[in-house]
Amino acid sequence: GGDGPAMIEPTPSTDDVRAVHTIGPVLDCMELSEGLTLEQCDVIRRQLTYVSRYKELVAMVTSDMLLRLLGAAIEVCLPDSASKFCREERSDEIVVLHVGDYNDKLVQPLLQQADKSASMYGVSVREDVITPEDVFTDKLLDYLLTRNVRMVVPIISPQVLHDRYWSTLGYEFCVRNKDLVFPVFVYPEGARDRLLEVLRRRCEDMLELASLEVSMTEDPLSSTKIGLLSTDVMRKASTSVVLNTYRITAEGCTLEEDGVTILFPKGSVQTERTLSLEVEMLPITDKITKAFSAVTPVLTVHQDKDEDFLEPVTVTLPWAWRSGCSSGRTVLMEKRGRGRQWSVLRTVYQET
């Protein structure tokens, strides 16, 4: 028993050696986290075959601490091979990593919104502000290797890519597990291409990860935008969502979840009814924004009774609009049960 972190036992396989054919990134992680010294890693690198390199590595992993560290490094660098190695189960913690840039307009509102819904997603959220004495990517890897957090959300702004926070050595970014890092690219309006150009020179591999983008102006971000960002982060980190269950009575009530509000007026039901809400955010990609003027979350209502409400129920959804588009061409649709047709909903629009 005990309350310590659980260990995930490896799945035996004769392909263990072949699984770490590319061992360089794993050695970089072991050296960075001080599990192995530079001299030890060089001894391994000088072996003539990948089989001998693997055997030398295993021979140096002589303690439980090193075993855990090797498992974490494999999970970070070679995720397809993680099941073949003993590793520690990851915690429920999400770490938002930033340098203080856009702190009031973006970071703190995002942290506050994420904290409100964290329990539903089975995670916890904290921040870490990087100082000039730290290297941004080293700090990120430290959280994944030695602190074993669920996911790191690096806020990548122009300030982050400055030499004060980013190594100029140009070494390879060794994270290949796309479930462990979810970057948010933040830039002044009109500066997107410049940010991505610099990041491509600094750390091109980070551009291969799923990410979010935020264009900043003088105005603060709307609560709708913050809510959309927070839900994207929560869903990326969560392995399962525990849906909240609500009781609807004849007295009526108002429900709020992930930026969605549902108003049940008095008399909307005769007998008590239970339901749960599932709010799913669509990814705001170039393809989506070119095809649609606006995007709302997909709201699924799970009920214990498939009956109409006796009074009109008002659903308020957050919108992500494409600039310059009119709401007059937008249509909301609903579908009830399996096999039924979609129907048009009456809509009212309000700027926020």
For the stretch 56-79, pLDDT in tens is 888 888 888 888 888 899 899 888
Give the per-residue pLDDT at 96.
96
Q: Under DSSP, is residue 345 helix (H, G, I), strand (E, B) or coil?
A: coil
pLDDT at 266 over 60: yes
Give the per-residue pLDDT at 33.
86
Question: Do the beta carbons of residue 64 and residue 20 sit within 8 Å?
Answer: no
pLDDT at 11 over 80: no
pLDDT at 83 over 70: yes
pLDDT at 334 over 50: yes
**Rama region for 250: left / alpha / beta (φ>0; ψ in -120 to 50; rest):** alpha
- The pair of structure tokens assigned to 112 is 């506050």
Q: pTM of the prediction?
A: 0.69
The enclosing H or E element of 170 equals none
Residue in 78, 53, 82 with CA at minimum distance from that of residue 174: 78
For the stretch 122-168, pLDDT in tens is 889 999 999 888 888 889 999 999 888 999 999 999 988 887 888 76
pLDDT band at 251 (very low <50, low <70, confident <90, very high): very high
- The strand pair at 342-344 and 294-295 is best described as unpaired
pLDDT > 70: what percent of the chain? 77
pLDDT average, residue stretch 320-341: 54
Higher pLDDT, 52 or 171: 52
Residue in 185, 231, 215 with CA at minimum distance from that of residue 323: 215
pLDDT at 340 over 80: no
Give the per-residue pLDDT at 294.
67
Higher pLDDT, 202 or 151: 151
Task: Please give the single-letter amino acid code of residue 148.
Answer: N
pLDDT at 14 over 50: no
pLDDT at 27 over 60: yes
pLDDT average, residue stretch 224-237: 84
Give the per-residue pLDDT at 185.
94
Give the per-residue pLDDT at 349.
56
- The strand pair at 333-335 and 342-344 is best described as antiparallel
Residue in 82, 90, 206, 116 with CA at minimum distance from that of residue 155: 206
Mean pLDDT: which of 80-84, 253-257, 331-335 is highest? Answer: 253-257
Distances (CA, A) of 218 to 26, 106, 188: 43, 12, 9
pLDDT > 90: what percent of the chain? 22
Distance CA 26, CA 239 (A): 25
Sign of the CA dihedral running 178, 173, 285, 104: positive
Distances (CA, A) of 29 to 25, 218, 308: 6, 40, 57
196 contact partners, CB below 8 Å, separation of at least 6: 185, 207
Paired with 96 in beta bridges are: 127, 153
What stretches of the chain show up as alpha helix (H) in DSSP? 16-19, 24-32, 38-45, 50-60, 64-77, 108-117, 136-145, 192-203, 223-237, 286-291
pLDDT average, residue stretch 162-179: 76
Q: Under DSSP, is residue 206 helix (H, G, I), strand (E, B) or coil?
A: helix
What is the DSSP secondary structure assignment for residue 150, as one 8-state letter?
S
Give the per-residue pLDDT at 18.
59
pLDDT band at 84 (very low <50, low <70, confident <90, very high): confident
Please, what is the end-to-end C-alpha distance for the chain in angstroms? 51
Distance CA 243, CA 222 (A): 26
For the chain, give the mean pLDDT.
80
pLDDT average, residue stretch 12-24: 60
Distance CA 313, CA 299 (A): 14
Higher pLDDT, 87 or 185: 185
Paired with 155 in beta bridges are: 184
pLDDT band at 94 (very low <50, low <70, confident <90, very high): very high
Angle subtended at Cα 41 by Cα 37 and Cα 45, rounded to the nearest 5 degrees: 165
pLDDT at 111 over 80: yes
Give the per-residue pLDDT at 1.
40
Radius of gyration of the chain (CA): 24
Mean pLDDT: which of 23-37, 82-96, 179-193 is highest? Answer: 179-193
Question: Do the beta carbons of residue 135 and residue 75 sit within 8 Å?
Answer: no
Give the per-residue pLDDT at 140.
92
pLDDT average, residue stretch 44-49: 87
